[in-house]
């Protein structure tokens, strides 16, 4: 089996417009700094921070349109903005993977984002799971494969909440991903490798 590539879904037009508006707003703040009378040191420090934020947000926007999963016979590489995770196929609990609507009962409930980017229509990064959730995470707390006692966090790249792949790992977290073809990735994960 060769390496297979599965694309993550990109932003819808509303999310793209909001993201571009946010980038424009940060650029305008940078222009305002140029005309505002400030001490030279403060102006350079503030400009440097704003340029860094503008660069980071621009890179996230660009990379979100190129996010993918690369599945080889031995590993799965999750290549999403700000996060690149490579997991062995043995660390994926594929028999427990599901395609879910995150707004329905039984889906993992997120408590808060501990690291990442969040805006309407886009959730990216590490999230804590709600403790009282009756979800995939709490159903599989006791398993001989799971290294930690329970799954308490999730790595997300979600642009559309209707059909996301929820994939538990033995690393103690879930992968929650919006894919162009989640069924195709799930089928490939469930196919035995030699």
The DSSP 8-state label assigned to residue 153 in this structure reads E
pLDDT at 105 exceeding the cut of 90: no
- Model confidence band, residue 145 (pLDDT cutoffs 50, 70, 90): very low
Sign of CA dihedral 166, 167, 168, 171: negative
Residue 132's pLDDT is 37
Burial 5-30 (b: 16+ CB within 10 A, else e): ebebbbbeeebbeebeeebeebeeeb
Inter-residue long-range contacts of 47-56, CB under 8 Å, 24+ positions, other chains counted: 50/26, 53/26, 54/23, 54/26, 54/27, 54/30
| Two structure tokens written together for 166 | 């929820």
Residue 157 above 70 pLDDT? yes
Q: What is the pLDDT of residues 75-84, one digit of tens each?
A: 999 999 999 9
Q: Where are the domains of the chain?
A: 9-64, 90-190
Radius of gyration of the chain (CA): 19
pLDDT of residue 111: 87
Residue 93 CA to residue 109 CA, distance in Å, equals: 19
Q: What are phi and psi of 52, to 5 degrees?
A: -65, -45
Across the chain, mean pLDDT equals 87
Given a cut of 60, is residue 180 above it in pLDDT? Answer: yes
How confident is the model over 87-102, as pLDDT tens digits? 999 999 999 999 999 9
């Amino acid at each position: 089996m060769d390496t297979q590539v599965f694309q993550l879904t990109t932003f819808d037009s509303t999310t793209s417009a909001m993201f571009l508006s946010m980038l424009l707003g940060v650029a305008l703040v940078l222009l305002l700094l140029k005309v505002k009378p400030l001490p030279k040191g403060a102006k350079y420090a503030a400009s440097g921070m704003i340029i860094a934020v503008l660069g980071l947000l621009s890179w996230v926007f660009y990379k979100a349109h190129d996010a993918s999963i690369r599945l080889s016979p031995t590993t799965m590489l999750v290549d999403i903005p700000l996060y690149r995770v490579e997991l062995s196929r043995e660390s994926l609990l594929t028999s427990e993977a599901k395609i879910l609507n995150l707004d329905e009962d039984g889906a993992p409930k997120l408590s808060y984002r501990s690291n990442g980017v969040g805006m309407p229509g886009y959730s990216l990064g590490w999230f804590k799971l709600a403790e009282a959730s009756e979800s995939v995470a709490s159903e599989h707390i006791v398993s001989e494969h799971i290294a930690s006692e329970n799954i308490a966090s999730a790595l997300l790249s979600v642009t559309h909440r209707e059909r996301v792949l929820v994939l538990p790992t033995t690393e103690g977290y879930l992968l929650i991903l919006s894919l162009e073809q989640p069924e195709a990735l799930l089928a490939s994960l469930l196919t035995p490798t030699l």
